[in-house]
Amino acid sequence: MAISRFNNLDFMAWRRLALILSITLLLVSIVSLVTLKLNVGIDFTGGSIIEVGYQQAVELEPIRQALEADGFGDAIVQHFGSASEVLIRLVPDAEKDKAELSSQIIGLLKAASETDIDVRRVDFVGPQVGEELTEDGGLAVLYALIAILVYVAFRFEYRFSLGAVAALIHDVVITLGVFSILQLNFDLSVLAAILAVIGYSLNDTIVVFDRVRENFRKIRKKTSREIVNQSINQTISRTLMTSFTTLLVLLSLFFLGGEAIHAFATALIIGVVVGTYSSIYVATTTALALGISRSDLLLPDKEGEDMARP
């Protein structure tokens, strides 16, 4: 295989550079999440969403002006899929009935348009539901990380467990940071993608950890750094090929799947790229920095077994 010629790379020689890169990306992401925050959809904020289709391409500014003139200055108007499709998001208004509100908006759009418009979708999410989704979504991510911490600790060793969780937190924060910096719409589909990223990244990390544990038990005359480096080299072909084939599917969804799953595909693409990087550098480097050694992973020897070995 062509990738096998690269199986003698010294990955651990670049771990300090990778650490600087990871810390920089995390800091930028955290600052953006604190200042710009996430551009959350009505799934979390509550409100109304109206999707309409025009017979030809339409400019957004006249629509914004018509809505603002009628008291809807806080409405978010954007193209959805094509220049002839428009998505309007409205914040919750306790004083107005949702059905009347949507009818009023549709009436304004029809009055401001010289051609007929087609109402594609009208959705309502109450603010109470939005708050519950926000809380439950955050708890889902937290519970997933705790479960992974316990699982990896039992299957491997607690330093591997901390390394795996560090990599997953790294992946989630950076993915959220990209959405915050670019102000991409964050809805329930993106939250589902974040949970999928956690599973994908963990799978890559477990593959590397399995090989590290196996090599620690087989190889006696190498340092922990050398064994980790050899394990990454032995699994890099599988890691890259898996990530490459996954990205082919995700890029197809991104470009051909339509606006409805655009944010979902974007989150997964970012997560797969960052997750592949973190399984190589963040998870194993963290375990190495915590002092993982061969003695931590050896199986208990039966009495007299060591004396029988040559």
Q: 290 is in which domain, residue-wise?
A: 8-40+129-296
Please tell me whether residues 177 and 61 are part of one structural domain.
no
pLDDT tens over the chain, length 310 residues: 444 445 678 888 999 999 999 999 999 999 999 999 998 877 777 788 888 989 888 888 888 888 888 888 778 888 887 888 888 888 766 666 767 778 888 888 888 887 788 888 888 877 666 677 778 878 888 888 888 888 887 877 888 888 888 999 999 999 999 999 999 988 888 988 998 998 898 888 889 988 988 888 888 788 888 889 999 999 999 999 999 999 999 999 999 887 778 899 999 999 999 999 999 999 989 988 888 877 766 655 544 444 444 4
Please tell me whether residues 36 and 54 are part of one structural domain.
no
8 three-class SS: coil
Which of 125, 153, 168 represents a domain boundary (last residue)?
125
CATH code for the domain of 34:
1.20.1640.10
Any bridge partners for residue 47, and if so which? 125
Listed in order, strand segments (DSSP E) in the chain are 39-40, 47-54, 76-80, 82-90, 117-125, 185-186
Please tell me whether residues 74 and 25 are part of one structural domain.
no
- Give 52's contacts (C-beta < 8 A, 6+ positions apart): 85, 86, 88, 106, 109, 117, 118, 119, 120
The pTM (predicted TM-score) of the whole model is: 0.79
Contact predicate 42/308, CB 8 Å: no
Distance CA 271, CA 194 (A): 7
Q: Count of domains in the chain?
A: 2
Q: Report if residue 301 sits inside a domain.
A: no
Distances (CA, A) of 192 to 48, 75, 188, 290, 299: 22, 26, 6, 32, 38
Q: Report if residue 307 sits inside a domain.
A: no
- DSSP class of residue 242 equals H
Distance CA 40, CA 301 (A): 55
Please tell me whether residues 191 and 269 are part of one structural domain.
yes
